Chains A and B, each alone.
Chain A
Amino acid sequence: MKYVKSSYSRYLKKLKCSNPNGSSVRAPYGSVNELITHKQFKLVLPMVLKDNISGKGSNLKPDYPCIESMNVMINCLKINDYNEAPCGTEIKEFTECFQKYSSDVKLADEQAKKGIYNINENQSKFPIKFMQKMLKEYKTPRKVDDGPDLPH
């Protein structure tokens, strides 16, 4: 991913460059307090949260699809010495279950592209794409009231 410097880091850099002695921050001539006193912190951009989240760690609980029917089927196969003829119904149940699950996932993905999400009212945690969409829709306000003047 391309690394884009945030406005805040750019601001910090400005601070360093505006050192009257011309030396870098790595070798300050005085203490930190001195630096701040020399150049006071100035709010350039409004201090607000971002409108997106990184989707690295999803807290959604995994669901275990078709594991029950799989166990039933494997038991049946084991009893009948891996002959498929007697356990036709179990196999059919399992395959149909998996087909339904995979088709559901596919459908959800397709609908997500269009912007449709099926979400319950009682749900407390949401899929990431849905979160992203919501954050974009309801942005945090950029306009900040003019606070008290900061001393120079």
Chain B
Amino acid sequence: MLNSGLLSLERKFLSNFFRVYSQNTAQRPIIDKSELDSIKSDDLRHYQVVEAPDGYESNAMSYDPRMHKFIKILMKNGNSYLARNLVDKALYNIKLKQVERYNKTEDESKRKEIETNPMRIFLNAMDNTKPILKVIGLIKSGISYQVPVPMSEKEREFKATRFILTSSREKDKSVRFYDKLADELIEAFNNQGKSIKKKVDMHKLAEANRAYAHFRWAKK
């Protein structure tokens, strides 16, 4: 009895150890610099408890939360240094290609059409590959149906990263991953390529099974 009591005490202590702030009162910190500057001196948030930011969050210009999530999904065996490097090299490759195109064109009007920001290319490519519907298996009265359902924003983002990563991993051994990733991102930015095709296939499947759409909400 004594032993078990101690254990429970320990558990309580540990749970407090990892999360110091109480859930209701503490605020998440503001990471964006422009948002920080906009806070006035008489704002109430100055006098409230604020959590410390996580280790990866920073004010640096290279930090982007969506990009950070992408890197963490790419990572294998906890080697986030490598994953970060691969994405950086891919961005560098994109920039080399686009800036070369930019500097070689002499018309000012044509120049403005070329997108040279690798970050913007990455984010737009992610937006283009986001699927809207997915299909789930559902068994009703012994027959299995494939029912199209909508997804949450988080899941859509995750599916998009999956499409881009799997399509850039389908390659020869001689081709480097970051080269392929750069190509794939540029293609997805222009609404072409393997990852876009995967998304369209998903939509087609949903279209074929749209008669069962109301099954999802029915009683089991």
Contacts and interface: CB of A to CB of B under 8 A. Distances in A.
Are A and B in direct contact (Cβ within 8 Å)?
Answer: yes
Contacts of A77: 203, 207
Contact of B214 (A64, A84, A85, A98): A64
B132 interface: yes
A132 to B, nearest CB: 20
A63 interface: yes
B17 to A, nearest CB: 26
Contact of B150 (A62, A70, A83, A84): A70
Nearest to A73: B132
A84 B132 CA distance: 10
B174 interface: no
B97 interface: no
A74 B150 CA distance: 12
B152 A71 contact: no
Interface string B195-210: 0000010011011001
A65, A66, A94, A95: residue with the most chain B Cβ atoms closer than 10 Å: A95
B217 A64 contact: yes
Nearest to B210: A74
Contact of B204 (A82, A84, A94, A102): A82
B60 interface: no
Q: How large is the interface on A (under 10, 10 to 19, 20 to 34, 35 or more residues)?
A: 20 to 34
A74 B218 contact: no
A71 B133 CA distance: 12
B213 interface: yes
B213 A67 contact: yes
Contacts of A50: none
A102 B152 contact: yes
A99 B152 CA distance: 7
Contacts of A64: 213-214, 217
A113 interface: no
B217 A63 contact: yes
Contacts of B214: 64, 67
A94 B131 CA distance: 13
B46 interface: no
Nearest to B132: A91
Contacts of B150: 66, 70, 94-95, 98
Nearest to B202: A82
Contacts of A63: 217
A66 B133 CA distance: 12
B219 interface: yes
B133 to A, nearest CB: 8
A83 B192 CA distance: 11
Contact of A99 (B132, B153, B203, B213): B153
A94 B153 contact: no
Contact of A82 (B148, B200, B210, B213): B200
A78 interface: yes
19 contacts: A58-B219, A62-B219, A63-B217, A64-B214, A67-B213, A70-B133, A71-B213, A73-B132, A74-B133, A74-B203, A74-B206, A77-B203, A82-B200, A82-B203, A82-B204, A84-B128, A94-B132, A99-B153, A102-B152
Interface pairs A-B: 8 shortest CB-CB: A98-B150, A62-B217, A82-B200, A64-B214, A74-B207, A64-B217, A62-B218, A74-B210
